[in-house]
Amino acid sequence: MKYIFLIGLLLITYGAAGASIIDGEDGYRLWLKYDPINDDDLRATYAKQVSSFYLSGDSDTMKVIGEELAFALNGMLSQAKQVNASQAGLIVAAGDKANALAARHKLDLKAAGDEGYLVYQVQHGNAEKVMVLANTEVGALYGTYRLLRQLQTRQPLADMAIVSQPDIQLRVLNHWDNLDRHVERGYAGESIWDWHKLPDYRYQRYVDYARANASIGINGTVLNNVNADPLILTDHYLEKVKALADMFRPYGIKVYLSVKFSSPQLVGGLDTSDPLDEDVQQWWQAKVDDIYEHIPDFGGFLVKANSEGQPGPGDFGRTHAEGANMLASALAPHGGTVMWRAFVYANEKNEERSKQAYSEFKPLDGKFDDNVLVQVKNGPIDFQPREPFSPLFGATPETPLMMEFQITMEYLGFSTHFVYLGPMYEEVLSADTYARGEGSTVAKVIDGSLFDNNTSGMAGVANIGTDRNWTGHIILQSNWYVFGRMAWNPQISAEQVADEWVRMTLSNDNEVVATVTEMMMKSHEITVNTMTPLGLHHIMGAGHHYGPAPWVDSLGRADWNSVYYHRADDEGIGFDRSPSGVNAVEQYFSPLKEQLADPATTPEKYLLWFHHLPWDYQIKSSGRTLWDELVHRYYKGANDVKALEQQWDSLKGEIDPLQFHQVQMAMDIHVKEALWWRNACVLYFQQFSDMPIPDGLPKPEKSLKQYQKMSFPHAPGQG
């Protein structure tokens, strides 16, 4: 009787959700699911081709290749066997062995470089074999993942002839993770690094993290927050860092650390951190030598200096170059790199914020040591939903610049909005700087080809945490994925990447793939409309950055306030960065600077970024007044989110119920928050325009005052 009651209760509790409690995909496996291939013919064909494999060695990296192949092929084909070369359908080889095979089949292994690979199907004796060949073992690992992707996306192996090597050398995640496991701007649980239990306790999650990164070519990780805790450089923590580095090494991933510039004082007992002081230099040298004792392939340092209260060389009257070079010379003997951030702005400068990074770094061009990269955020302000590219890209021919993208969704809905960042990254990378005439894209600056730099890099601020699905939202896994794919190949299309990600993560059904890919491709534009249409920016809640707050006007620094950025008044709205205003356009090359100087030739998506325009200014594409267009975009954005939700709902039954349900719950929040943004912003700006919400549009539910009163002291991710 008791049991019948319990079972009944369970049915009532869980039956309502429609899915059983444990049966489903919770997202942990990311895009490396390797579920069985149901098509019998295809499975049999693949099995014949690659289920027996040969590895050319038994190093740690070859071991993980073998493990991944066994796991993946058993999963997809229900069979996998490591055999000798003559029996194998698949040969994975690196180094001399790969060179010999390449020569025999007249393949050019040089084209694979240090990290790339060839994946070919060749006639070998009287058998057809699939070969993954690389100069290095990590190249063979990347090639293995490339081959597996072919199976995961159900593409044929016959006649494969793929040559690939990364265009960018350093492809790194930046974790803004604190030592107490709080993640600054993190919305997916705590930090995955359990510092307290390291170095002894090594979660399987660390291995799966490395696998996921290696599968998309990420080869570095900065473990800790740019707002760095100096304790990371103490022996106690270096032991822990070493444990992670040891785990990641077979996967080709190097570990880097964010360092606090004043560490010599804070943990070294010195009374200065002046980069030109000899004791300071010696302290860093000794510290770096010590790190390399622990971690022979340590990657180097990431530094946020003289920015948002962080210490830096400026505190001692020195330049960013002097600060960076001091660290660079300590790292150089070991082959380490300094990634020095250009995200600097200071109130005292009395210069408009968007111009400051350029003003500070352009004069330092050519003054940095060879092992320094300057890391620049994609836009001139701060990871806004949309920004024009930073004018620093193209402005420093003698200094290699790294791209810094934000993968975590600080300004794009935390972890509850359906936003694929591929199109945004693509928009930035394909933008033309005109630094050396037409075709001088940001991608070519970043990959070093425009100025023939000898190093290159791309960083992404990670969206990873302890949530089972890693990123707090299944769809946002695609942003981690696309970051890696674009760091390997900055020319790849966002759409192609979306297609392959959907196939590996959600479904290989062509209709599902087409629907979700289409949703992903439009999602960024939609979200920009819901938050900051027409080039508006920085009008989110103060501090936590959650929700709309264009009214913020009382923070300590002018350029922390929303009103500084939108400048709405009775006359109009927008920031005049043209020559009649702060002349930020002067930092761009011609003909872009002339184009952006004139509202008539400024792309509408950046209109209010560069111009303050009257409320009745006529918008070219629609013929509407600026006010009507603004309202139209906010309403359209919110409607489009609703339509996205309906599109998602149409997939019910087509994808895994747990995945489906997770996204559905988040979509509900996205819909609500899009309405909130719309209502709050339209009511707020209406005070200035004094114009009506056009007929036929529903009026906001609450008053402006009510929206302004909403408060979220415990919103996640705060700094």
Catalytic residues: 308, 382, 410
Q: Which residues have a Cβ under 8 Å from the Cβ of 22 and sit 6 or more positions away? A: none
Distance of closest approach, residue 655 Cβ to ligand BDP, in angstroms: 33
- Going from the C-alpha of 691 to that of each of 616, 625, 676, 685, 704, the distances in angstroms are 10, 11, 20, 9, 15
Written as one letter, the residue type at 52 is S
Closest CB to ligand BDP among residues 262, 515: 262
Closest CB to ligand BDP among residues 546, 588: 546
Distance of closest approach, residue 631 Cβ to ligand BDP, in angstroms: 28
- Going from the C-alpha of 610 to that of each of 380, 423, 533, 541, 615, the distances in angstroms are 12, 22, 13, 22, 15
Closest CB to ligand BDP among residues 142, 405: 405
Burial call 143-160: b when 16+ CB within 10 Å, e when fewer: bbbbbbbbbbeeeebeeb
Q: Which residue among 45, 82, 227, 359 contacts ligand BDP (CB under 6 A)?
A: 227
Number of residues this chain uses to bind ligand BDP (CB under 6 A): 11
DSSP 391: T
Closest CB to ligand BDP among residues 226, 608: 226
Q: Which helix (H) or strand (E) holds 670?
A: helix 657-689
Closest CB to ligand BDP among residues 483, 617: 483
- Going from the C-alpha of 139 to that of each of 97, 580, 715, the distances in angstroms are 13, 53, 42
Distance of closest approach, residue 383 Cβ to ligand BDP, in angstroms: 5
Burial call 459-484: b when 16+ CB within 10 Å, e when fewer: bbbbbbbbbebbbbbbbbbbbbbbbb
| Mask for 328-347, x = binds ligand BDP (CB under 6 A) | ---------------x----
Closest CB to ligand BDP among residues 66, 465: 465
Determine if 450 is a binding residue for ligand BDP (CB under 6 A). no
Q: Which residue among 171, 175, 185, 537 contacts ligand BDP (CB under 6 A)?
A: 185
The residue among 246, 232, 240 whose CA lies nearest residue 302 is: 232
Binders of ligand BDP among 286-305, rule CB under 6 A?
304
Determine if 685 is a binding residue for ligand BDP (CB under 6 A). no
Q: How far is the C-alpha of 244 from the C-alpha of 713, rounded, in Å? A: 34
Determine if 387 is a binding residue for ligand BDP (CB under 6 A). no
Distance of closest approach, residue 361 Cβ to ligand BDP, in angstroms: 15
Percentages helix, strand, coil for the chain (3-state, rounded to 5) are: 45, 10, 45
Q: Which residues have a Cβ under 8 Å from the Cβ of 621 and sit 6 or more positions away? A: 604
Determine if 261 is a binding residue for ligand BDP (CB under 6 A). no
| Mask for 364-383, x = binds ligand BDP (CB under 6 A) | ------------------xx
Distance of closest approach, residue 545 Cβ to ligand BDP, in angstroms: 6
Distance of closest approach, residue 42 Cβ to ligand BDP, in angstroms: 46
Check if the beta carbon of residue 620 is closer than 8 Å to that of residue 630: no
Closest CB to ligand BDP among residues 566, 678: 566
Q: Which helix (H) or strand (E) holds 403?
A: strand 401-406
Binders of ligand BDP among 394-423, rule CB under 6 A?
410
Closest CB to ligand BDP among residues 144, 174: 174
- Tell me the angle at which helices 137-152 and 204-215 cross, rounded to the nearest 10 degrees: 80
Q: What is the 3-state secondary structure (H, E, C) of 144-208?
A: HHHHHHHHHCCCCCCCCEEEECCCCCEEEEECCECCCCCECCCCCCCCCCCCCCCCCCCCHHHHH
User: What DSSP string describes 604-619?
Assistant: GGGHHHH--EETTPBP
The gap from C-alpha 575 to its chain's centroid, in whole angstroms, comes to: 28
Determine if 226 is a binding residue for ligand BDP (CB under 6 A). yes
Determine if 184 is a binding residue for ligand BDP (CB under 6 A). yes
By CB under 6 A, name the binding residues for ligand BDP. Answer: 184-185, 226-227, 304, 308, 343, 382-383, 410, 719
